[in-house]
Amino acid sequence: MNINSKTWLNIRGAIATAITVTSTFAMTSTATAARLKVTVENVAPTNGFFFSPLWVG
């Protein structure tokens, strides 16, 4: 069997793809959903101005 450098690149690519797909499925199977409640309060003074629509912090 004659294996040249191009064949080795194909084998490496196949192995890398298999590892990537396997690790992706492993990561997604451990993910869980979470509920998140966000409250936005406008603390700008009356007739004031703001530079951004949302302040965080």
Nearest one of 30, 52, 32, 25 to 40, comparing CA atoms: 52
Domain residue limits, the chain = 1-31
Condensed to tens digits (0 to 9), the pLDDT of residues 1-56 reads: 555 656 656 777 788 888 888 877 766 556 678 899 988 777 777 766 666 665 55
Q: Are 40 and 54 in contact (CB under 8 A)?
A: yes
pTM over 0.75: no
| CB-based contact 28:34 (threshold 8 Å) | no
